[in-house]
Amino acid sequence: MNVLSLFDGMSCGRLALERAGFPVTNYFASEIDKFAIQVAQANYPDTVHLGDVTGVKTHENGDLFVPLDRGYKIDLLIGGSPCQGFSWAGKRLNFDDPRSALFFEYVRLLRELKPRWFLLENVNMKQEHQDVITEHLGVKPVRINSNLVSAQNRDRLYWTNIPVRSMPENKRIYLKDILEDGWTDREKSHCIDANYFKGGNLKSYFQK
C-alpha cells in the first residue's frame, strides 16, 4: 500500500498503520518541522519526505510526483491539517488563518490523486466550519475522543471514507498508568541536545 501523509509530524500515522497490521510499501510524508522530521527519519528511515505541502505535485495521470523518481499511485491519503484557526483555545480565525487554510491543499491532492481511501483529522469545531470540510470531502465526520484508548483527553473529528462501524473500546487508561519517573533518556531521544543529569530519579535530584 502506498501512503501519502500530509502534515505528517513525526509519522504517527505510519505507527498506527503498523500497529493495525496494514502493510506499507511506500510511505511519503509532507512536513516542514525539522524536529518532527528528525524523529520520523530515526524511526522510519525509508520514509520519503516531500517538504512543504504546497510543493507536493502530481502527474497528469493522478500519480504522486516524486523528484528524481517515478510516479506512484497513492492508495491512502491521510493528514491532520493545522487546527489553530478552529481550536476553541485560539482566536478562531477559521479559514482566514493561513495555517488552517492549508486544509485546501489536502482537498487539492485528494482530487488530483484520487486515492482509494482517505482520512482527515482535526479538532472539534463550530458546526458551520465542520460543514465546510464535510462539503469538500463528501463525508460527515466521526467524533472520537482519544481518552478511550490513552491517558490523553483529545476530542477530535475524523473525516474518512473508511467504514467506521463502532467506537474504540474504552481501555480506561489513566495518567498514573503511563507515568515514568520523570527521567529524560537522551539515548532514546532523537532531537534533544541538552545535557541532562544521569542517575537516580527526579524526586531525589531535587532533594539534593
Cα separations in angstroms, 125 against 7, 87, 129, 134, 135:
19, 7, 7, 12, 15
- Let me know if 14 is exposed, middle or buried by CB neighbors in 10 A (0-12, 13-18, 19+): buried
Rounded Cα distance between 120 and 152, Å, is 20
All three cell numbers of 96, joined, read: 482566514
Rounded Cα distance between 120 and 157, Å, is 8
Annotated active-site residue in 3, 40, 53, 83:
83
Asked if 29 and 48 touch (Cβ cutoff 8 Å), the reply is yes
Locus of grid cell 512543504: 52
83 is catalytic: yes
Residues 6+ apart with CB under 8 A from 92: 85, 86, 126
**Residues annotated catalytic, as ranges:** 83
